Amino acid sequence: MQSWKDHVSRHPLWGAVELTFAWHTVLLLFAKVILPPLAPSWYPDLGATLVNVICAAGVWLVLWRWGWLRVSGVATPGRPRRWWMAAPMLLVACSYSVAGLDGSATVVGSGLVSLLWVGVNEEMYSRGLVQQALGPLGPVRAAVGVAVLFGAGHIQNFLFFGDPLDDTLWQMLSAGFFGFTCAALRYAIGSIWPMVVVHGLDDFFQIRSPGSAPDWWQASVYAFHLVYGLWLLRRYGAGGSYERA
């Protein structure tokens, strides 16, 4: 583990790519090979929840072994007085619930818990581990790197989970903009946890919405993510949470 950490420290960009690839590999192994299909009627998303819990535990272990738990924003509340900065993204997430929620109470409850775990897992790996690895590149380049890798990683939905290619390409674009703003927020707040909640609810409301948001709204959301992320980086990036351990 120490030799891998040293390699990542010397080659942050390649290290971030390797960490992203490793995380996706572990996720796919547990989702497609190791764990059996688990979708009991009382909790239809049991399998997905377990996959995200396992992957999050793996990321936590790597951060702990490398001494990055606090500096990555994973084991700290950061600056609680700045948690309000995640409120605009929370409002965007909640906007997808305007049309209501689709599904029975069991399906909705199961999906909410499962997708909150997606938020934990993906924020720990992307805005925690990968962003910390990219830290030596500076806040702006690190945030862009996080956005590109996080967005590109969603190609797995087409390759392994049966999503149509056009839907996957839009997911990649949306995830990239979302990841950019979350990366900027981590520098401003010093913690991933406000983004965990936003991330989980954003996925939940979009998936459980009975219809897709209008194209004009999605375009507005992309523009907001870009502008808000750039503003956060300009104002708070220089005082971000990056440290080397």
Give the start-to-end residue ranges of the domains of the chain. Answer: 2-239
pLDDT of residue 201: 98
pLDDT in tens, 138-148: 999 999 999 99
Global pTM?
0.95
> Token digits for 27?
């996720």
The CB-side HSE value for 143 (13 A sphere, CA atoms) comes to 27
pLDDT of residue 193: 98
> End-to-end alpha-carbon separation of the chain, Å?
14
Could you tell me the CA-to-CA distances from 199 to 6, 40, 115, 205, 216 in Å, in that order?
A: 31, 25, 8, 10, 21
pLDDT of residue 170: 95
pLDDT of residue 2: 87
Q: Are 163 and 38 in contact (CB under 8 A)?
A: no
Q: Which residues of the chain have pLDDT under 70?
A: 239-245
> Token digits for 12?
């942050």
Q: Are 133 and 12 in contact (CB under 8 A)?
A: yes
Contacts of 176 (CB under 8 A, 6+ apart): 147, 148, 150, 151, 152
Q: Exposed, middle or buried: residue 78 (CB in 10 Å: 0-12, 13-18, 19+)?
A: buried
Contacts of 214 (CB under 8 A, 6+ apart): none
Q: How far apart are CA 53 and CA 120, in angstroms?
A: 8
Q: How far apart are CA 241 and CA 243, in angstroms?
A: 6
Three-state SS sequence of 134-175: HHHHCHHHHHHHHHHHHHHHCCHHHHCCCCCHHHHHHHHHHH
Dihedral (Cα; 60, 62, 66, 72), 10-degree rounding: -40
> Token digits for 116?
């909150």
Q: How far apart are CA 239 and CA 47, in angstroms?
A: 40
pLDDT of residue 239: 62
Q: How far apart are CA 170 and CA 166, in angstroms?
A: 6
